[in-house]
């Protein structure tokens, strides 16, 4: 373990660079697609739930979004790994209050949210795969669960992702 730390110690700033880049990718890569493609498509469907065009566009948007969040979901494990490396190599401890609060937010909120997001976008909830399998009732159910997931997690992520970045940069206490 000690030799591993000694081996990577000179690369602390490079790992930090990777951490910051992937945090940016995790935090912002899906914002534009979510705000300007997904929400309008779902809003149109919510207003006219029986409109065939609205349903088609909603389905297209969510299937594209399932693929679009790939960047975010590649970035997240890298953020966790590089974050742990920085913690060990930098000699940080939980006596730093800002770091402890940041860790609490990640463990309590971000990891469960991302696990649910992985499932809904890439695994059992992947809409394109369900449509190809022909199970249209499950397709509709998964789209609705995904929408509820967005409704719940959007305010959480807006507030707490900003808080995480604020804590890391400002280190206020």
Partner 1 sequence: MITTDFFGYPKLYNRISWAIAIYTTTGIYCFYTAIKYFFHNETSLLAWQPILVAFIFASLLARYIFLMMMFIDGQFYRKKLKKKHVTFDNKTA
- List interacting residues with partner 1 (CB under 8 A): 39-41, 43-51, 53-57, 94-95, 100-101, 103-105, 107-109, 136-137, 139-140, 144, 147-148, 150-152, 154-156, 158-159
Give the nearest distance from C-beta 147 to partner 1 in angstroms.
7
Measured from the CB atom, is 37 or 71 closer to partner 1? 37
CA separation for the pair 43, 48 (Å, rounded) = 9
9/144 with CB nearer partner 1: 144
Q: What angle do CA 58, 155, 119 make, to 5 degrees?
A: 55
Minimum gap (Å) between residue 159 Cβ and partner 1: 7
CB atoms within 10 A of CB 137: 8
Q: How far is CA 130 from the centre of its chain?
A: 22
Residue indicated by tokens 């979510």: 34
15 vs 164, beta carbon nearer partner 1:
164
State the minimum distance, in angstroms, from the CB of residue 83 to partner 1. 16
CB of 127: closest distance to partner 1 in angstroms? 14
Residues recorded for the chain: 173
User: Which secondary-structure segment (H or E) carries 40?
Assistant: helix 39-47
3-state DSSP percent of the chain in helix, strand and coil, to 5: 85, 0, 15
Query: Smaller CB distance to partner 1: residue 12 or 145?
Result: 145
In the complex with partner 1, the residue whose CB is nearer, 25 or 55, is 55
25 Cβ contact list (under 8 Å, min separation 6): 71, 72, 74, 75
CB of 3 to partner 1, least distance (A): 26
């Amino acid at each position: 373990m000690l030799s591993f730390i000694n081996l990577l110690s000179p690369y602390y700033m490079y790992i930090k660079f990777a951490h910051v880049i992937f945090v940016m990718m995790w935090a912002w890569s899906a914002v534009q697609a979510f705000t300007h493609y997904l929400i309008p498509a779902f809003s149109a469907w919510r207003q006219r739930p029986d409109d065939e065009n609205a349903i088609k566009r909603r389905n297209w948007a969510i299937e594209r979004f399932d693929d679009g969040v790939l960047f975010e979901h590649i970035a997240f494990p890298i953020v966790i790994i590089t974050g742990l490396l920085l913690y060990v190599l930098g000699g940080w401890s939980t006596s730093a209050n800002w770091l402890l609060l940041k860790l609490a937010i990640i463990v309590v909120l971000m990891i469960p949210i991302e696990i649910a997001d992985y499932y809904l976008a890439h695994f059992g909830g992947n809409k394109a795969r369900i449509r190809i399998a022909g199970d249209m009732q499950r397709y509709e159910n998964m789209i609705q669960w995904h929408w509820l997931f967005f409704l719940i997690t959007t305010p959480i992520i807006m507030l707490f992702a900003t808080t995480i970045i604020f804590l890391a940069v400002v280190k206020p206490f």
